[in-house]
Amino acid sequence: MLPFKLVYHDRYDLHLGAHVFPSQKYRLVRDTLLSEKLAEPEDFLRPEPATDDDVLRVHSQEWVRKLKTGKLTASELMRLEIPYSKETIEAFWLAAGGSILAAQRALADGFAANIGGGFHHAFAEHGEGFCAIHDVAIAIRRLQADRAIMTAIVVDTDVHHGNGTAEIFGGDPNVFTLSIHQENNYPLPKPPSNIDLHLPDGIGDADYLAILEKNLKRAFQGFHPDLLFYVGGADPYREDQLGGLALTMEGLARRDRLVYEHARLAGVPVAITLAGGYARRIEDTVRIHVNTILAARDLAARQTATAGR
């Protein structure tokens, strides 16, 4: 068994068909964890959809109404870049519920992972870049409303800048945002995060990790969060179709460990979401996401072993 819980629902799959966003990856991550006996069925929790009240903590009533009734304009659909269906919107509400549950379990267990979510391009009043609602922001606002946390940090390692995250939390002293991403890539414009690491095209493991480590230290020196939300993108991978960085699978696993180790040193629980990933071989995207979970497993196991001495 894993030392923490995984949150998953079969309806996370958006069933987009021939689309660059392989939403079937969520099921494949779950299946890989089970088939390779890296996790047991009892490690998984099934989320309920976020309530509309929770979604409205972040999003405007008008945007929620449009999503629930299918009244999106042609330009809004074009910006979203995925076809609209009632089932798709239900999947986004489930992903938000999954991130709420993962955050709650992280506070209890130190780690938890939502095998889904990370929809960091959603803004309060519109969606874009495959993201209709912002599950991480919804989860943070729900836990703040419950007084389970006061402060949070979002560490976003997707190859694309977390523009929705930056916009939603801009000016909020209780939520710190760090985004490490390819500068010459979607989206434009890039509203400012607390720390934006705009990387040049083609950067590899060593330079990437050095930049990330330096700025994780910087973030934790000035901010003391109650929870870290990790938006773990698979798309900095060198074979990604929508990315232009050159990280290897080992480099990405080291990236994950680096984030978790800084959280551990600060005594901060970690809720994980799996963000973008568009490798030429879907098996590569799945393996990168599995490794993100295993890096947390290994650190949690070391913590348990150390505490038992």
Residue 307 has pLDDT above 70, yes or no: no
The rounded distance, in Å, linking the Cα atoms of 20 and 212 is 28
Whether the predicted pLDDT of 40 surpasses 70: yes
C-alpha to C-alpha distance for 102 and 98, rounded to whole angstroms: 6
Distance CA 64, CA 59 (A): 7
Query: Spelled out in words, what is the top-level CATH class assigned to the domain 5-307?
Result: alpha beta
DSSP at 200: P
φ/ψ of residue 202, rounded to 5: 80, 10
Number of C-beta neighbours around residue 270 at 10 A: 27
**Whether pLDDT at 309 is above 60:** no
Please give the single-letter amino acid code of residue 211.
I
Asked if pLDDT for residue 11 goes beyond 60, the answer is yes
In percent, the amount of the chain with pLDDT more than 70 equals 98
Does position 308 have pLDDT exceeding 70, yes or no?
A: no
Mean pLDDT of 300-307: 76
Helix, strand, coil % in the chain, rounded to nearest 5: 45, 15, 40
Q: Residue 305 above 80 pLDDT?
A: no
pLDDT band at 297 (very low <50, low <70, confident <90, very high): very high
Which whole number is the average pLDDT over 27-33? 98
The DSSP bridge partners found for residue 230 are 155, 272
Beta-carbon-side half-sphere exposure of residue 79 (alpha carbons within 13 Å): 15
pLDDT digits (tens, 9 = 90+) for 232-290: 999 999 999 999 999 999 999 999 999 999 999 999 999 999 999 999 999 999 999 99
- Mean pLDDT over the full length of the chain: 96
Q: Alpha helices of the chain — where are they, by DSSP H?
A: 25-35, 52-55, 61-69, 74-80, 86-109, 135-145, 163-169, 205-222, 249-266, 282-307
What does the alpha-carbon distance between residue 119 and residue 86 come to, in Å, rounded to a whole number?
Answer: 18
Rg (CA), the chain: 18
Instruction: Give the pLDDT of residue 206.
Output: 98
- For residue 25, pLDDT over 70 is answered with yes
User: Each residue of 73-111: pLDDT tens digit?
Assistant: 999 999 999 999 999 999 999 999 999 999 999 999 999
Contact in structure between 247 and 292 (CB atoms under 8 Å): no
The pLDDT value recorded for residue 10 is 96
Per-residue pLDDT, averaged over 138-158, amounts to 98
Considering Cα of 301, then 305, then 230, then 259, what sign does the dihedral take? negative
pLDDT score of 118: 97
Q: Where are the domains of the chain?
A: 5-307
222 pLDDT band, cuts 50/70/90, is: confident
| pLDDT value at 67 more than 60 | yes
Which of 5-9, 219-223, 305-309 has maximum average pLDDT?
5-9
